[in-house]
Amino acid sequence: MLASRGQPAEEWPPLSHVPRHVAIIMDGNGRWAQARGLPRLAGHRAGTENTRRIIEACVEFGVPMLTLYAFSTENWYRPREEVDGLLDILAEVIDRELDELHANGVQLRHLGSPEGLPESLRRKVQHAVELTRNNTRLTLNVAFNYGGRAEILQAVRRILADGVRPEEVTEELFASYLHTAGMPDPDLIIRTAGEMRLSNFLLWQAAYAEYFSTPIHWPDFGKADFYRALCAYSQRQRRFGRVLQ
Ligand code: IPE
Ligand code: IPE
Ligand code: MG
């Protein structure tokens, strides 16, 4: 799957700043399908194929962590057929790609709640995470049944259940109760298909992320588009509230 292995890399001018963590809101699968007179699920399948390209591109461009927003807590409210199709696609992708991802040194992490997922899918996800836990080439977080608000609420509940005293609740402690515990915050959030909103994605972690929105639908968002987003990022001046001298 990772074509960069053993094959000559294409020439892409080096980037001055490469983000440590890129998070992508993979949007526009439905519109991609609609524009072709196909059912929405065909768009989701095409979108899933595209994730392979972008995973490869991360390895090639030296991005060590990628988070893909695949299914939100609000996506449960879509028609049953679409929801079932999306659950099936995730299960199929794990079955089909896990060995190769593992062989290529990809560490898989799940962001979101296992609750509500079918038992067989929960087991597949757990197995994938355990199998790949020591891999270091690329960390791939799959946000599935993920919502930023739900994540924050479960953190609050666990903090209270642990009997943490109010004065002990620091930003660091709070972050350690999120699904992203121990990970760097996203430096760059890319959204395809043109919307300018977070849709409940990484609400806490996105505080100082740079945003990049493109009208391209996710199934059409290729390596060159990804490279353009990384170029835009490398030209941003990040101030974190300070005044630069
Ligand atoms: C993104 O594509 C994938 C998921 C949200 C699961 P959409 O299905 O939201 O595509 P559009 O926005 O309807 O085009
Ligand atoms: C965000 O896309 C969720 C994912 C990409 C998984 P949506 O299509 O669900 O977001 P809205 O409804 O346009 O805000
Ligand atoms: Mg959408």
Q: Which two tokens stand for residue 146?
A: 């993920």
Q: Over 70: is that where the pLDDT of 3 sits? A: no
Decide if 95 contacts 124 (C-beta within 8 A).
yes
Ligand nearest to the CA of 191: 2
The answer to the question of residue 222 being in a domain is yes
Angle at the Cα of 201 from the Cα atoms of 135 and 158, rounded to 5 degrees: 75
pLDDT of residue 11: 83
The answer to the question of residue 66 being in a domain is yes
The answer to the question of residue 202 being in a domain is yes
CA pair distance 122, 7, nearest whole angstrom:
35
**pTM reported for the whole predicted model:** 0.96
CA pair distance 204, 151, nearest whole angstrom:
9
Active site residue 75: yes
Nearest Cα to Cα of residue 187 among 24, 72, 13: 24
The answer to the question of residue 181 being in a domain is no
The answer to the question of residue 193 being in a domain is yes
Looking at the structure of the chain, the number of domains it has is 1
Nearest CA to ligand 1 atom 13: 30
Domain ranges, residue 75: 21-147+187-234
68 lines ligand 1 (CB under 6 A): no
Instruction: Encode pLDDT of 28-52 as tens digits.
Output: 999 999 999 999 999 999 999 999 9
Active site residue 225: no
The answer to the question of residue 75 being in a domain is yes
Angle at the Cα of 243 from the Cα atoms of 239 and 245, rounded to 5 degrees: 105
Q: Give the distance, in angstroms, between the CA of residue 150 and the centroid of all CA atoms in the same chain.
A: 17
Residues 105, 26, 46, 72, Cα dihedral to 10°: 90
CA-to-CA dists, residue 175 to 5, 178, 206, angstroms:
35, 5, 12
The answer to the question of residue 5 being in a domain is no
The answer to the question of residue 158 being in a domain is no
Closest atom, ligand 2, to C-alpha of 195 = 13
Pick the catalytic residue from 29, 75, 104, 141: 75
CA pair distance 54, 51, nearest whole angstrom:
5
pLDDT of residue 94: 98
pLDDT of residue 9: 55
Q: Over 80: is that where the pLDDT of 93 sits? A: yes
Pairing mode, if any, of strands 188-191 and 138-146? unpaired
Residues 239, 148, 197, 48, Cα dihedral to 10°: 110
179 Cα to the center of ligand 2, angstroms: 19
Q: Looking at residue 215, which CATH number applies to its domain? A: 3.40.1180.10
Q: Which two tokens stand for residue 169?
A: 């609740």
195 lines ligand 2 (CB under 6 A): yes
DSSP state of 50: H
Q: Over 70: is that where the pLDDT of 126 sits? A: yes
